[in-house]
Amino acid sequence: MAGAALVAALLPAPAHAAAPDSPALSFSNPLVNQRADPHIFKHTDGFYYYTATVPEYDRIILRRAGTIQGLSTAPEAVIWTKHATGEMGAHIWAPEIHFIDGKWYVYFAAGRADDIWRIRMYVLESSAANPLTGGWTEKGRIATPMDSFALDATTFVVNGARYLGWAQRDPSIDNNSNLYIARLADPWTISGAPVRLSMPTYGWETVGYKVNEAPAVILRGGKVFMTYSASATDSNYCLGMLTASATGNLLDPAAWSKSPTPVFAGNAATGQYGPGHNSFTTSEDNRSDVLVYHDRDYKDITGDPLDDPNRRTRVQKIYWNADGTPAFGIPVADGVAPHRLSSFNYPDHYIRHWDHRAKLEPNVGNLADSQFRTVSGLAGNGTVSLESANFPGHYLHARNGEVWVDRNDGSAAFADTASFFRRPGLADAAGVSYEAYRSPGQYLRHYGFLLHVQPVVGTPARQDATFHQQ
């Protein structure tokens, strides 16, 4: 007992938590099959609006639903079809839907019917309340000083100023596309001279093709984060990121810093390849940010990746690091999305694994180490099991009272010790506690910041055995 008292005395005083500001989200991936370059816009009417590239490259579609997951089964409307001749006659790519000054706008890229690689950016407008059923007017091409390959237009507002971000090829530079930004005079007209923000220079940006494309912007904590996609649209596709201060001059390339490594890339363990061309939205309660992107569930592609129809729309929650930067983690496995479990009495500490030992830590640098999927219990009988996000097939599992993340060996003994009854939190009914399947009265709990399965007696132990899902 003296040793236990010493350990307790050395630990920092706990800060008991209310329910987290950003609770867990429930998604099942993929959200929509055979839909690439996805864009989800949450409107003030309570609906989410969804558009994406269809594999036929011949039309623009919209869906709407009251929830993000609801978009998966929502009816799909065709709001515009490619021209039979001339401009906007081929390669209808990367639509985005925005609501600006009381009207709907769709930005998209298209080639000519007689020159399919003459890709330029175009805009549609609708004043209808419901853009799925209202009429659309072609506002024409977004004119840029360089009349060259241009695509992936997006628009965003910082400090009251509206900007356009896009990708374009400079014929004088030996690459496929760079990132540009400009102010907008109206939703389809650039104001002033565009500025080049980024060129593909890192090795991970130049695999197959030298590409920076598909900018997407999220603002938080006085910073502007611009993600973008890099390399060929096969398994090498990935996300990079630029960062600027929201109070800086966004038209000054020096105001932006570039991450030297990808912020989101394929993952063989979860079976996800080539994640990219993302957008951002928020959860139904506005308390969480959500990453929207496409990928494939296989690595090898026969022929041109653009001819492969199986890019799928996927969604997952964004977490935020202590330094204010977004933590995207890894593209999670298909099926139910994982979540994090924060400690009731150490709310900035999360269950994570390290060398397979389960423990409690703050500031987990590798987000996926602290993400677990709640799945049907391996032992059945109404239990749940907690599966590692980055080691699928591995579960939180009790070994002689210690909790490890181990591979399921298929045995009944493993199933029993990796299965728990999910209970209301012992110290907070808004939280969750996990009672061991084969050991009534023993719970998953932390002690000395290591996880154990132990009896729970007294208030401190009940707090140690209570977690919040985030």
Q: Which residues does the annotation mark as catalytic?
A: 37, 213
Kindly report the three-state secondary structure assignment for every residue of the chain: CHHHHHHHHHCCCCCCCCCCCCCCCCCEECCECCCEEEEEEECCCCCEEEEEECCCCCEEEEEEECCCHHHHCCCCEEEEECCCCCCCCEEEEEEEEEEECCEEEEEEEEEECCEEEEEEEEEEEECCCCCCCCCCEEEEECCCCCCCCEEEEEEEEECCEEEEEEEECCCCCCCCEEEEEEEEEECCEEEEEEEEEECCCCHHHCCCCCEEEEEEEEEECCEEEEEEEECCCCCCCEEEEEEEECCCCCCCHHHEEECCCCCECCECCCCEEEEEEEEEEECCCCCCEEEEEEEECCCCCCCCHHHCCCCEEEEEEEEECCCCCEECCCCCCCEECCECEEECCCCCCEEEEECCEEEEECCCCCHHHHCEEEEECCCCCCCEEEEECCCCCEEEEEECCEEEEEECCCCHHHHHHCCEEEEECCCCCCCEEEEECCCCCEEEEEECCEEEEEECCCHHHHHHCCEEEC
Dist CA 467 CA 433 (whole Å): 6
Residue 281 identity: T
Give me 115's structure tokens: 């020159």
Query: How far apart, in whole angstroms, are the C-alpha atoms of residue 153 and residue 266?
Result: 24
Which one-letter amino acid corresponds to residue 223? Answer: K
Which residues are within 8 A (CB) of 25 and not within 5 positions of it... i.e. 6 or more apart? 283, 288, 290, 317, 337, 339
What residues contact residue 56 under an 8 Å CB cut-off, 6+ apart?
none
How far from 28 is each of 313, 336, 342, CA to CA, in Å?
11, 4, 22
Q: How far apart, in whole angstroms, are the C-alpha atoms of residue 241 and residue 247?
A: 18
